[in-house]
Amino acid sequence: MGTESSNPLETLNPLNPLNLTATLALIIFGAGTVAGALGVALGLGGGIFLVPFLTLVLGFPLKSAAAISLATVIATSSAVTAQRAGNQLINLRVGMVLEAATTLGSLLGGITAQLVAESMLQRLFGIVAIGVAAVVLGRVNKRNVILDATVDPGRLGGRFYEEESRGIVSYRVKRLPLALFASFIAGNVSSLLGIGGGIIKVPVLNSWCGMPLRAAAATSALMIGVTATGGAIIYYGRGDLQPLLAAPAVLGVQVGSLAGARLAYGASVKWLKVLMAVLLVIVGVLMFLRSMQ
Amino acid sequence: MNRERSATQRLEGMIGEVLRFGTITSSTMFAIGLVMSIVRYQPAVAQLLLVAGLVILLATPVARVVVSVIEYMRERDWTFVMLTLIVLLALAGSVVAAYF
């Protein structure tokens, strides 16, 4: 990286692109690729992996890492949703309803992030990651599909072609107030920690609100873009989001997403859930250790 | 019911187009700007491309919501006009929180 500075950002004056070494760009690009592949494969934004890497490995302040990560979350959401539009996995109506809650949450989180201490954010990140891992592991076998295409899914429900059962399946959406509440919290945490918020919404939508995992993930992928934008605008305005650092991360995540989509297509849902839980526990513990330093 | 589903599919197609355009434009600008920064060619232009790429990246989901508001207005689906307007208002709130 060319210098021994304890904070790599000090060497990177945003007004002077000459300071970005090719090595650092390549490292960020690589981290983005891995995070993007894992994120898409698991139906998450990838931020849950990118933020720990940027803070724990590269030593970025959490706010900068969160801001960069939010940019990648937006890119992932836009790319993945553009690709999926029309295949009926995305539940547009549920997405639009819940977005009202996620964006209000992200506005509040973006403001809060400017006011609380770094170690507080790290501890929150750890708690969120481990908590979600527990929820996911506890409900590994839930599918939520009605194997009958003629069942009326209701105004917010949906139908799609499911790989596992090789047929059209239907589902109904239950407990909308709970989904709204979870979305508000997800939006809040999204801005605070630089993640999409899918780690909160997807398990709730899947476990308690009746949505099959793939539909919940596709709908969440739609929502995280606009949610992350709310937070990213605040970080950008406050000078924490540097285009020069966001660019390699975004490009890396884009490349990784393409690979991740193939990975998700082949793997079983159950296996993905277990992998997600294990990774989240590791990330949570590391973040907690960091906050103690 | 069927009309509602086909309207939703239409909107989904439009959203897909907006997101595709935004993604390709911002990623292209990022890629060119980044390579120019690394090889130290025209730093001012490189910086401009990177900032423009970021602004387009942030504007893409906002544009998607605007398209949704217009489309729901056309459908006279007032519940969803209201919901999508709340989203736009929250985003406007972020701009206010960012600069004031």
ipTM: 0.93
Question: Model's pTM, two decimal places?
Answer: 0.86
CB–CB of B34 and A248 under 8 A? yes
Q: Give the pLDDT score at A71.
A: 95
- In whole angstroms, give the CA distance from residue A238 to residue A223: 24
Average pLDDT by consecutive 10-residue portion of chain A (293 residues)?
Answer: 44 47 87 84 73 87 92 90 83 92 92 87 86 75 64 76 76 90 90 85 86 87 92 93 93 86 66 79 84 79
- In whole angstroms, give the CA distance from residue A244 to residue B47: 8
CB–CB of B61 and A225 under 8 A? yes
Best residue of A226, A240, A254 to probe chain B, by most B CBs closer than 10 Å = A226
CB–CB of A18 and B40 under 8 A? yes
CB–CB of A103 and B68 under 8 A? no
A49 with A39: CB under 8 angstroms? yes
End-to-end CA distance of chain B: 45
B34 with B52: CB under 8 angstroms? no
Q: Give the pLDDT score at B81.
A: 95
Tens digit of pLDDT at every position of chain B (100 positions): 456 668 888 898 999 999 999 999 999 999 999 999 888 888 899 999 999 999 999 999 999 999 999 999 999 999 999 999 999 999 999 999 998 7
B25 touches chain A (CB under 8 A): no
Contact list, A20 vs chain B (CB under 8 Å): 37-38
Minimum CA–CA partner of B18 in chain A: A82
For B19, the closest of A16, A82, A92 (CB atoms) is A82
Q: Give the pLDDT score at A143.
A: 62
CB–CB of A86 and B13 under 8 A? yes
- In whole angstroms, give the CA distance from residue A170 to residue A161: 9
CB–CB of B91 and A243 under 8 A? no
